[in-house]
Structure 1
């Protein structure tokens, strides 16, 4: 008899990865869901004896799904598969009833071990798993590797500051120069912002990372980094922003590069501690067409420090990215 299994992830690329990681010969009746609301409806319809669940999703995220399952006492075995690998996230999902936590990108051997641990595999046969014929778009693939990279960045930062980092769903798009200027102006909206910019290159891929802190009280940054507030001065303010940016940017680019199997060389960072026209910040991208833009948001330490990360990748890099995807993407 087939085992009803739900794979719940807003990324079609991630759903395909999980499908490929399922044990060969496992007789399953598979249901694919794009958000938590769809997943709980499928569980209530009897389609999810086992739930393979992402955390960062629209409509209803993974934490909310676990809370709902516990509240309604739904009959399912929840296994979380997520790029948010922060210790606090791991602890929270286990307290909400998840039976295991597997980091992205999912490893088939680890998933098999977890399923064997709970005795749900039964007798493996030569049964072929159902196919997901939906083609992956380039933007969907970039979004998923971004999701994993930002989870690794947050995990490293939280180990430095011992505060949870709230993650958003990354947004990926190909933007004309005018669209990018509007996006940056909207991102930098507020009385003031501090921006750290840093270029990177490797494996035929090049771009620039912009990290913007909004209306941030430098004392909050100092507190997060356990710095003596009585020693604050202008030079120290720059150092503090650079310290927290180095962790986020360095870890993000490392996680991004590892999934592409490349090594990025990073340029010298530049910092601006005041409002600056977007045309100045985008000077390196003037005249370029269709810049690949990745938008990521972080909220650090009890809503006291928020920042936006814009990763701008040159049009010339896109062919190299597509080759390294290893996927048939459109």
Structure 2
């Protein structure tokens, strides 16, 4: 469905120091620097896949999504989406995709969302019968029946985002580019949005690329992740495999019926957190069974769970590894 080969997107950016003299000097002579937003990444995504597209701020995630949706021209490389070259902006291509950005909105501020729905129906030339069926399904899935008649300015952020998604899906796109769709939403609304996105993917077989700094979104929706950093590909593969590679240790979470001294916990593994009634231990994977047996026999355990390391820690460590590799490459070799 999506094929990317050697994608590069470089910008020339004007830079100058502050001050009036520098401002006047820049009118005559400008100095430019090249910013490599994306610098030669390649990947393929199959139809119906849900893929997390991750990286720190400034990694090139949004730039890549804009190239895939045809909003930006690549500096180099080849990109196709369902057989189309995005920058050609063919009508058939535009009817197959949708880019949803959590920090942008298409709803008309003083009009109810229903007006935007009807506008999008006309723009995408959706037949009335199909439109009525689609909007009925979306209203039911997103539970927005009592919202679509209110002016957009009267809706909360979460209500607006649900209506934004509905507006984006009027034409039943085959490819969804979601850029921070849950940004700013509370925990309950984030869960609602994740459930809807997953249901839409399963019902219509849509291909999904998701960028998000909320790791709960990624864990719930994306079996596969692509990680980029400073425009370079750091990882492409299964989310579980990434966790096992970066942080193979396990977390043993203990709920205790009484307070336990830290000295009784340390022989079981590295104590990550220790509070009255709870403790979290980090242990090697091969030592999990022995740790559980010993904890049950020596501590007042009420409940016990075994978990992977938090995904936030995994991503942070992966970014640190990537930065260390870049630093090693850039350092001059001693004579």
- Fold-level similarity (TM above 0.5): no
TM-score of the pair, normalised by structure 1: 0.27
Higher strand proportion (structure 1 or 2): 2
Larger Rg belongs to: 2
TM-score by structure 2 length?
0.26
